[in-house]
Structure 1
Amino acid sequence: MLHPFDPGYVAEPFLTLCSDYPDATVYPADQFRVEWGPIFHRGRLDGSARVLVIGQDPAQHETVIRRILVGEAGRRVQGLLAKLGITESYVCINTYLYSVYGSVKAATARKPELVGYRNRWFEALFESRNIEVVFALGQAADAAWQAFRATPQGQAVQVSYAAVTHPTQPESSAAGDKTKLADATKKLLRNWNAGLQAVHPGLTHPDTPTPPVLYGDTWAVGDRVPIPERDYPAGLPAWMRENDGWATRSGPDALAKRRNITIKVTRGVVT
């Protein structure tokens, strides 16, 4: 059985981008988990991407796998892309290379070195001139896009754009309250429907031409789509690709949780 995989950063300008990246002098250690290293992208880097997704920052699953948007948020994003007829032709990058620790100060978010490096990724991705649609997930991602659009290179880019609610915002805002979760999910899906309708006319080269089927008031069957195996590094076990919750930040206090990521093989894999 063949297992397709992401070959990594094998060509310029991505080779240079992945060898010349900002460190703790740009990403302060009191605001980012720089000790776990940078995580760069997920998806196509060969110029075939038609949709660019801008996320926020990597969590613990991304830290282990070294690709972004690989957990529940990633599956929801795959469903969003599928509603546009996009199954392969996409690429994802984050606003921040490193996992946020606490919150990011406004001055840090605007650092020329931080913004400038991220803009180099945007410039590299738009070299092919094939990207037709951009989604920004959350306010930080929208700010990242607007910072790029303010540059001469960004002003030359012509795409359909939608800033949408981050895919796991309902869980974050509800804090375990089921009523709040239902309300927040309903609001998110209405927001995503508006985003789909805004960008759909601008997507002229979907993988599978399809009319956008809008979301209901809650997640339905088919709204969450598995992430293709070809998005992951070679040899990643299936249970890491197919499940969530196997990586947790563990420890009795904040420092211990920062130092530790506990990985547990999901139930049913080992009998």
Structure 2
Amino acid sequence: MVEFDRGPTARLAGLLAQVPGPPDASAFWADWGPVFYRGRLDGSARVLVVASDPGPTERIAGRSLVGDAGQRVQGFLGKLGLTRSYVCLNAWAYAVHPSRALAMRDRLDDAEQREWRNAVYDQATGDALQAIVVLGFMAREAVRLWTPRPDVPLVDALHPSNPEEDEVLESWRAAVARLRAIVTPDDDGDNTGPTYGTVFAESDYAAIPRRDLPFGAPTFLGDDAWVRALPGDAHNAVSRPRPDDEHTLVWKAPR
């Protein structure tokens, strides 16, 4: 059977369509529009992952945490034995300019933003939830503002794109150890393997499952192993070229 993401229910789609616009358009890549989620929206998720905002690969896929950072997160979920029972959301549905991130963290508490975001978090989770993972300061603030939130353990870890790789690895190593004692693996998952070494290895990444992506997505979308294998320090097949990054994306396919 060909697997693909069939999208949100009509009820949740109606809520997502009510997304507030950015509180300050100059602080966001607003012209590209919002990106909302990746994973299960039917209440079966055992882990909710909250990150900061979508990047260029996420805009191409129309799903959250799909690029290099998302493939690291998928590897993280795999170490918990989760192959499908998760949902990934963001603090912001719009991509934030990094130079404005701290200022926009304070805007997460704008009433319109907070109420809509909390309603999405509420509808996207259910009784199966066993843990919430927040990745970075933006996610931490968004979840702090989620009241009342489910009474499950909250695990705070560094964002996968944090440049201090050794600190990220230490943070994720501790998070995996804690979550393995909390989260029930999927039937086809394994939570007994190694965690992390001193650098991110290719084995710490995982391709985004087809079930998380829309029907018709190219087979290489969500799997940038071929990019990481090239000489240089490129990690993503999709980029925002300057100076026209507000209106142009460059997407490369493997040869």
TM-score higher than 0.5: yes
Amino acid at match of 2:139: A
Q: Does 1:164 align with 2:162?
A: no
Shift of 1:43: 0.3
Alignment check: 8 A CA contact 1:50 1:130 kept? yes
Counterpart of 2:108 in structure 1 is 109
CA-CA distance at 1:36 after TM superposition = 0.8
Q: How much has 1:145 moved relative to structure 2?
A: 0.9
Q: Equivalents in 1 of 2:9, 2:73: separation in Å?
A: 26
SS in 2 for 1:163: strand
Name the structure 2 match of 1:258: 246
The 5 A counterparts of 1:7-18 are 7-12=6-11, 14-18=12-16
| Structure 2 unmatched runs, 5+ | 228-235
| Closer, same or farther: CA 23–217 of 1 in aligned 2, 3 Å | same
What's the offset of the Cα at 1:64? 1.4
The structure whose Rg is larger is 1
Letter in 2 for 1:218: V
- Per the TM alignment, residue 10 of structure 1 is displaced from its structure 2 partner at its CA by 2.8
Deviation at 1:110, TM superposition (A): 1.9
Per-residue CA distance 1:94-139 (angstroms, 9 max, x = gap): 010100023142542321111111101111123x211101111111
> Deviation per CA, 1:36-91, whole angstroms, max 9, x where unpaired?
11100000111111111001111111111110111111111111111111111000
SS at match of 1:98: coil
Structure 1 residues 30 and 75, CA gap change in structure 2 (3 angstroms): same
Cα distance in 2, alignment partners of residues 166 and 22 from structure 1: 25
Q: Secondary structure of 1:222's match?
A: helix
Whether the aligned pair in 2 keeps the contact of 1:161 and 1:198 (CA below 8 Å) is no
Is the alpha carbon distance of 1:22 and 1:211 closer, same or farther for their aligned partners in structure 2, counting shifts above 3 Å? Answer: same
Report what 1:249 is aligned to.
240
C-alpha distance in structure 1 between counterparts of 2:253 and 2:34, whole Å? 24
1:146 to 144, 159, 172: 144
In the alignment, structure 1 residue 193 sits paired with structure 2 residue 178: no
Query: CA shift at 1:263, angstroms?
Result: 2.5
Q: CA deviation at 1:262?
A: 2.2
1:206 deviates by 4.0
Per the normalisation by structure 1, the TM-score is 0.83
Does the 8 Å CA contact 1:84/1:212 hold for their aligned counterparts?
no
Distance 2:45 2:106 in 1: 32
Higher relative contact order, structure no. (Cα contacts within 8 Å, ≥ 6 residues apart): 2
Equivalence for 1:136: 134
